[in-house]
Amino acid sequence: METFNVVIADDHPIVLLGVRELVERDRRFNVVGEAVCPDGLIELLKSQAVDLLITDFNMPGDSPYGDGLKLVEFVTRHFPEVKVLVLTMISNPLILTRLQELGVLAVIQKSQLHVEIEVALKAIAKGNRVRSKGPAPTSVLNDGADLDERFSRLSPKEHEILRLFVQGQGVNEIARGLNRSAKTISTQKISAMRKLEVNSDQELLAYCIERNLFK
């Protein structure tokens, strides 16, 4: 019987425990490590053979590997042999589409954790494609020569807010992480949108993701 070495990464101990319990119900999967931060995750992937990574999308912390899209891109680029399942509460189609483009097997909504992980593990064990409830391909902004010039108008604070926004954080979460008020973060985000000449969160994400501005 083929077995799979699994690493689980999530900054919430209760989620780690719950996912481990779900994974270990199937004898074909062996949990060989757990991580609560991006640094710990990368060390695990470097130090042992891993077949499957089940990771949270957001793991706050000051890490050179980042979190969100930046972390997933690092993993898929440097550990291409590792299959990746992403856990998230995010439903934004642009972020989900980008995860698919990075080669993630499936994006599992935490609200459907028990059912979706079981389905995904069964498919992986059989060598089948994991059926993902991902979004249809999304349209992108028309490319233009002045897009980079617009981006250069951003202040350092606006740049940081957009980076966190693209990683999937909302205004309130960004405010807590940066120890600023939600009103300040919202104002700076709106200012950045004006400078970039975008009119909605969807356009803002499209601008940043399609231009790979926060690798």
For 138-179, write each residue's pLDDT tens digit: 443 444 446 667 777 888 889 889 888 887 888 888 999 899
What's residue 1's pLDDT? 67
Looking at the fold, whether 122 and 151 belong to one and the same domain comes out as no
Is 27 a domain residue? yes
In the chain, how many domains are there? 2
Q: Domain holding 60: CATH number? A: 3.40.50.2300
**Does residue 127 have a pLDDT over 90?**
no
Is 83 a domain residue? yes
What's residue 42's pLDDT? 96
What pTM value is reported for the model?
Answer: 0.68
The parent domain of residue 69 ranges over 4-126
Tokens coding 110: 């935490």
Question: What is the number of residues in the chain?
Answer: 215
Its sign, for the CA torsion 88, 6, 83, 41, is positive
**Does residue 215 have a pLDDT over 60?**
no
Is 159 a domain residue? yes
Looking at the fold, whether 111 and 185 belong to one and the same domain comes out as no
Is 170 a domain residue? yes
Max mean pLDDT range (62-76, 108-122, 129-143, 177-191): 177-191
Looking at the fold, whether 122 and 178 belong to one and the same domain comes out as no
